Chain A
Amino acid sequence: MVRQVYLDNAATTPVKKEVLDAMMPYFTEKFGNPSSIYRLGQETRAAIDEAREKVAKAINASPREIFFTGGGSESDNWAIKGIAFANRNKGDHIITTKIEHHAVLHTCKYLEKNGFKVTYLDVDEYGTVDIDQLKKSITDKTILISIMFANNEIGTIQPIKEIGNIARENNVYFHTDAVQAVGNIKIDVKDLNIDLLSMSAHKLYGPKGIGALYIRQGVKIDSYIHGGAQEKNRRAGTENIPGIVGFGKAIELAYENIDEHNSKLIKLRDKLIKGIYDNIDYVRLNGHPENRLPGNVNFSFEFIEGESLLLSLDMVGISASSGSACTSGSLDPSHVLLAIGLPHEIAHGSLRLTLGDFNTEEDVDYVIENLVKIVDRLRQMSPLYENVKKNIRG
């Protein structure tokens, strides 16, 4: 059997056994509706409260500031639309960046169609937001700054504290999509002056379909899902109890083990980066060299295209992803790679490898060994590489 090496932990992670064990009773025995007054209901109510405390503790928030949602995308939608519509009397201007997840970008596009104005900040070659441009973009009509904590594709971590301070000084709400950061970075929402923070369980070894939005006490925001008193009247719908319990357990485990998790992942990451640099020519590391997520590796391989790279990796059991257009069905490669200034053809040849808790040094060796062969095979087929070889010879 082909060895299986999962290197797409930024896409999703497997549920850890401890997490699944914590969830299981809530499917069958402890199934009560938490809105019910009998014991079966109160039991699940208590489970939600406990999970909420765990999520709050992980980011130094108060439990009443944590609202469970259906996931990261819902949290982003709620934060941005909810702030926009609740603060329309104050202003109609939102600031975000060109490298946000589509859950933020498409929500901003939707708001533009509804009369709001959005500034999309540039980033530098490493994917770091332009702080001066941010400062200059704030007007008396600005109601929200939404900037991701860390980028899902290239792993670059933003200067969140600086951005939080700027937002606070200007009396503008600050939302951050922290879906990739939670579980990988220590976060203190008070210290960082964050008003709203989106998170998702399945990126940190929890289940899919559950996330949360942190809303600082006092922030003026509209409800998003109407129709029930759940989540303090703000997000209607019978709670996803197993999901909530699983999220609570997963985030607790993540922060109990964060130092160990980070030092292990950084070691594997740097070994992988070095291995690629040392063994393959014409490559470029995308994202910030130091200021990046512990498990993120993103390279462009010149003269080849990302989808053929992914297919070849899959044939030897390696799961990864790419910013190539050919993997998404559109003609344009990743908006993030274009925003950091990569030409289209280099962006097409990008590969994202994201490490997780279940990866080993042997996995990294296996990937490097196979990547060298695959890149070479695809380059031998590439008419672009042919020209380069001729130029070298000439």
Chain B
Amino acid sequence: MYSEKVMDHFMNPRNVGEIENADGVGQVGNPKCGDIMKMYLKIENDVIVDVKFKTFGCGSAIASSSMATELIKGKTIHEAMKLTNKAVAEALDGLPPVKMHCSVLAEQAIKAALYDYAKKNNITIEGLENFNPDEDVHHHEDEGMN
């Protein structure tokens, strides 16, 4: 069902935990649907110097969070904004079609954390002008692409 990479990131997730006094915190998902992701960012000079996550969810939700943190760590805000759910899924050697929403959730969690950072610092981040951190990703999941 899952690739070896998914299982590796599920069993040995990278960057689990919290960051005290994080510069940006984002939480997406809904316990009713069985998944919640929370991302913590430490940002210095527009660079994500540290990132941690906590996830309530299935194996692919945990693996997607872990992979997403790996993909944005050390990157600029601008680069992190370019991370798509597809890139997360591809980096995991694919996700089953019904699990694609987990990668969407990971993308959204990063955006929600960046949105929080922008709000706290009174800045605007290109691409987040119309971001709604409370949007339910299950409505726009794309299950057919993998």
- Chain A residues within CB distance 8 Å of chain B: 303-308, 311-312, 315, 324-327, 329, 331, 333, 343-345, 348, 380-386
Contact = CB atoms under 8 A, between A and B. Distances in A.
B128 interface: no
Contact of A381 (B35, B58, B62): B62
Contacts of A315: 11
A312 B2 CA distance: 13
Contacts, number: 73
Nearest to A329: B98
Contact of A384 (B16, B36, B62): B36
Closest 6 A/B residue pairs (Cβ): A345-B31, A326-B58, A307-B58, A348-B34, A383-B54, A344-B32
Contacts of A324: 34, 58
Interface centre among A307, A315, A344 (most CB of B within 10 A): A307
B14 to A, nearest CB: 12
Contacts of B36: 383-384
10 contacts: A305-B57, A307-B59, A311-B59, A331-B33, A344-B33, A345-B34, A381-B16, A381-B54, A381-B62, A382-B55
Contacts of A348: 31, 34
Interface of B: 2, 7, 10-11, 13, 16, 18, 27, 31-38, 54-59, 61-62, 98-99, 138
A136 B99 CA distance: 44
Contacts of B38: 383, 386
B34 A380 contact: no
B10 to A, nearest CB: 6
A308 B11 contact: no
A277 B85 CA distance: 39
Contacts of A307: 58-59
B138 A326 contact: no
Contact of B57 (A308, A327, A344): A308
A210 B2 CA distance: 32
Interface centre among B18, B27, B38, B57 (most CB of A within 10 A): B57
A93 to B, nearest CB: 34
A345 B27 CA distance: 16
A386 B16 CA distance: 12
Contacts of A312: 11
A247 B26 CA distance: 56
Contacts of B55: 381-383
A325 B54 contact: no
Contact of B58 (A303, A308, A343, A384): A308
A325 B61 CA distance: 13
A382 to B, nearest CB: 4
A382 B33 CA distance: 15
B31 A325 contact: no
Contacts of B98: 329
A391 B10 CA distance: 28
Contacts of A311: 2, 7, 10, 59
Contacts of B34: 305, 324-326, 331, 333, 344-345, 348
B16 to A, nearest CB: 5
Nearest to B99: A326
A305 B16 contact: no
Contacts of B57: 305, 308, 326
B46 to A, nearest CB: 26
Nearest to A325: B34
B54 A382 contact: yes
A213 B108 CA distance: 51
Contacts of B56: 303-305, 381-385
Given A383-B36, A384-B36, A305 B58 contact: yes
Nearest to B59: A311
Contacts of B7: 311
A311 to B, nearest CB: 5
A384 B59 contact: no
B37 to A, nearest CB: 8
A309 to B, nearest CB: 9
A206 B35 CA distance: 39
Contacts of B99: 326
Contacts of B33: 325, 331, 344
B31 A344 contact: yes
Contacts of A380: 16
